[in-house]
Amino acid sequence: MDMTHPVGTTPLDTITDGIVGKPLDRVDGPSKVTGTATYAYEYREPENIAYGYLVPASIARGRIATLDTAAAEAMPGVVAVLTYRNAPKQGSASQQVEPQLASDRIDHYGQAVACVVADSFEQARAAAYAVAVGYAPDPVNAALDANLDRAVKPKDRGTSPADTSVGDADAAFASAPVKVEVQYTTPLQTHAMMEPHATLAYWRRGQLILFTANQMPNRGQAILASVLNMNKDNIRIVSRYVGGGFGAKLTPHPDAVLAALASKVVDRPVKLALTRQQVFHSTFHRSDTVQRIRLGATRDGRLVSVAHRSWSGNQVGEQNFEAAAEVTRSLYATPNILTQHRLAELDIPTASAMRAPGEAVGMLAIECAMDELAEALKLDPVELRIRNDASQDPTKLIPYSTRAMVPCLRHGAEMFGWDKRVATPGGVRDGQWTVGLGVAAASRGNPLQPAKAWVRIGPDGIATTRAAMTDIGTGSYTILTQIASELLGLPPEMVRTELGDTDFPMSSGSGGSFGAGSAGSALYDACLVMRRKLLAAAGMSDGATFRDGRITEGNRSVTLASLAGPSGIEADGGIEPGTMHKLYSQQSYGAHFAEVGVDMDTGEIRLRRMLGVFTAGRILNAKTARSQAIGGMIFGVGAALTEAVALDPRFGMFVNHNLAEYHVPVHADIPAIDAVFLPELDDKSNPLKSKGIGELGICGAGAAVANAVYNATGVRIRDYPLTLDKVL
């Protein structure tokens, strides 16, 4: 089916006691906690696996001048040392993924200059340190803040231009009675997913098989086909379990390309994992940003002008910019609105998508600027947002599919006790702590991607579903099980969900908050096809009920198993995005409320409690959705208070390239956090009437924390993260 029309009443609406939406425990939970879920690096088959180890460049730009691999080759267990001199010839770069060991050029710190292959990991690692590389370095230009004047307008993206303008934001700002003009900066960030990138690659009769950690296997297949100059049908990617991605696994990385090349050369299966340190330089990160915001308002708090200009950086030649101002295009009603992105070319590793690319850091700026405007207006910041709620998208000038920001603000304010907030900063003390409350809105785009799915009912009455979808810790296995369970009238233990294999039907994979809606809709469609086949086989009408493994109509009742017969019965389905996304502005919405305490002597900031209230269409599993939202909020707390990659501009390298020094929140940093979803159905989004939730939680979360810090202290910190040195 395709999304060219709003969805009418569906079987999901009519099954009133269904399992979709229920807080079903993760179906893959037991295998994960018992260690039987196999991640990419854990496969022990096929036999005779060799181990690869990436040797990283220690300059940011230049050329390899001397290269001596003799000592490494002579070490115990070493099977081969691949360099640009002997690596197989490859194809061309695709979607930010480069051929490896292709020449003597170095374009970023950490780029692979060699790959050692040995009988054991330890032997490969030891030999990697014996590869002697001499460099002819070029001058390095790596810091965004030194390159703002050189930044240029990047290429528009398909759905998202670099710049937009409605009305005349500058003129309206000049004549606005109340103004805020501020600059916010966000640092380099990195995904810090739990599982480092890893691949097991081997070749069988001309086919390349990769067990790898990848969010979008079909995309990975196409990218590797380009990079390795192969037909994509000769590449199989298996990613059954992925230990977090956050965007860093949207594409294959050097572990996959090098393992494939090495396996070809040594004619053995090759496993290659990036070390945690290598993940920082050899995969993706999020650019730092400089964001300049101008808000103009009437004295009663109505926005007359919004301008959001953002600068980010990327490796020389890259066009991917951090779309920080994109969210501002649809956030609040105003007749004059301008957004602009500029991109600086730098000698750094590749910047790319990281959880809620754009919104996550854009809202750290715009939602604090809104707090500053509320302060200037002497208006409650919840009320300011309510007053500027939009009835249509102010940039695209089309209706919203749904927009429930105001109900989220009101509900959250009530639950959180917002009415007890003291507007004057520093007005609440608790011993050595000064305590403050902050609010911010949440908004995240809701895309839909093409996807297919397959379902089969076997002679035992068990349904098996398949798609090249992934579960990156998000709950895909569980919600897909629920969808099939409900539509086919089977208990969830009678549904087997198989994912993460390009031998299965093409799917969206996990990214951009589109996974559940896209893969879920495809499976929904496949299950509708299956229902029709079963009804035809049973000779029953649409009015029959599917329940407990049986179809019943009147006094007739048959089991699915008997209808499936000895050979089983199969059905295919799929979803196409259609035109609804062009006709309706689609976002999920929410509101964050945070309470912080700031130590008056040391400036230490502690989060005390936090609440997120969201709307995201139909919620497919109350438990996994809440976990997703809370995870996103914690990510936002990290962005506000701790996370920053420190660049050494002399070497284009990230200094704190480990999890000891790249500070993500730990349990001790996170007190009681709650997330609530208000009921909503979006009949313009997809047949499930759901919207994406994976990235909603992070959007605005950090701004609520920063606004709470201001309310606690009266110190407005506009440079993230908000560390204690900046408070004092």
Stretch that binds ligand MOS, among 60-68, 177-185, 352-360, 426-434 (CB under 6 A): 352-360
- Should residue 357 be labelled a site residue for ligand MOS when binding is judged by CB under 6 A? yes
- Of the residues 215, 481, 502, 686, which one makes contact with ligand MOS according to CB under 6 A: 215
The reply to whether omega before 349 is within 30° of 0 (cis) is: no
Stretch that binds ligand MOS, among 78-86, 203-211, 242-250, 658-666 (CB under 6 A): 242-250
Instruction: State the residue number with the nearest CB to ligand MOS.
Output: 247
Residue 553 is a catalytic residue = no
| Residue entry with tokens 């790596």 | 142
Alpha-carbon separation of residue 708 from 540, 592, 598, 715 (angstroms): 60, 11, 10, 10
Please, which residue, 131 or 633, has the CB nearer to ligand MOS? 633
- Should residue 696 be labelled a site residue for ligand MOS when binding is judged by CB under 6 A? no
Closest approach, Cβ 244 to ligand MOS, in A, equals: 10
- Those residues whose C-beta lies under 8 Å from the C-beta of residue 635, and which sit 6 or more positions away, are 246, 355, 360, 697, 698, 701
Alpha-carbon separation of residue 361 from 67, 117, 471 (angstroms): 41, 40, 25
Please, which residue, 110 or 357, has the CB nearer to ligand MOS? 357
Structure tokens at 246: 């956050």
Stretch that binds ligand MOS, among 239-247, 483-491, 624-632, 708-716 (CB under 6 A): 239-247
- Should residue 52 be labelled a site residue for ligand MOS when binding is judged by CB under 6 A? no
Please, which residue, 359 or 525, has the CB nearer to ligand MOS? 359
Count each helix (H run) and each strand (E run) in the chain, helices first.
Answer: 18, 29
Stretch that binds ligand MOS, among 82-90, 337-345, 347-355, 395-403 (CB under 6 A): 347-355
Name the percent of the chain in helix, strand, coil, to the closest 5. 30, 25, 45
Closest approach, Cβ 355 to ligand MOS, in A, equals: 5
- Should residue 110 be labelled a site residue for ligand MOS when binding is judged by CB under 6 A? no
Encoded amino acid at 202, one letter: Y
φ/ψ of 635, rounded to 5, equals -55, -40
- Should residue 355 be labelled a site residue for ligand MOS when binding is judged by CB under 6 A? yes
Closest approach, Cβ 246 to ligand MOS, in A, equals: 5
- Those residues whose C-beta lies under 8 Å from the C-beta of residue 694, and which sit 6 or more positions away, are 355, 474, 510, 513, 515, 516, 628, 632
Stretch that binds ligand MOS, among 64-72, 353-361, 427-435, 553-561 (CB under 6 A): 353-361
- Should residue 358 be labelled a site residue for ligand MOS when binding is judged by CB under 6 A? no
Contact 719, 184 (CB under 8 A): yes
Closest approach, Cβ 357 to ligand MOS, in A, equals: 5
- Should residue 184 be labelled a site residue for ligand MOS when binding is judged by CB under 6 A? no
- Should residue 245 be labelled a site residue for ligand MOS when binding is judged by CB under 6 A? yes
Please, which residue, 445 or 573, has the CB nearer to ligand MOS? 445
For residue 670, how many other CB atoms are within 10 A of its CB? Answer: 15
Q: In a 3-state reduction of DSSP, which class is residue 531?
A: helix
Separation of alpha carbons 369 and 700, rounded Å? 12
- Should residue 515 be labelled a site residue for ligand MOS when binding is judged by CB under 6 A? no
- Should residue 353 be labelled a site residue for ligand MOS when binding is judged by CB under 6 A? yes
- Should residue 627 be labelled a site residue for ligand MOS when binding is judged by CB under 6 A? no
Contact 679, 86 (CB under 8 A): no
- Of the residues 24, 242, 250, 699, which one makes contact with ligand MOS according to CB under 6 A: 250
Please, which residue, 69 or 189, has the CB nearer to ligand MOS? 189
Separation of alpha carbons 434 and 350, rounded Å? 41
Please, which residue, 213 or 563, has the CB nearer to ligand MOS? 213
Site size toward ligand MOS (CB under 6 A) is: 11
Please, which residue, 291 or 510, has the CB nearer to ligand MOS? 510
For 305-350, the DSSP string reads EEEEEEEEEEETT------TTGGGGTTS--S-EEEEEEEEEESSS-
Stretch that binds ligand MOS, among 18-26, 119-127, 350-358, 665-673 (CB under 6 A): 350-358
The kind and range of the H/E element at 183 are: strand 178-186
For 98-131, the DSSP string reads --SS-SSEE-STT-EEEEEEESSHHHHHHHHTT-
- Tell me which residues are annotated as active site: 695
The residues that touch ligand MOS, with contacts defined as CB under 6 A, are 215, 245-247, 250, 353-355, 357, 511-512
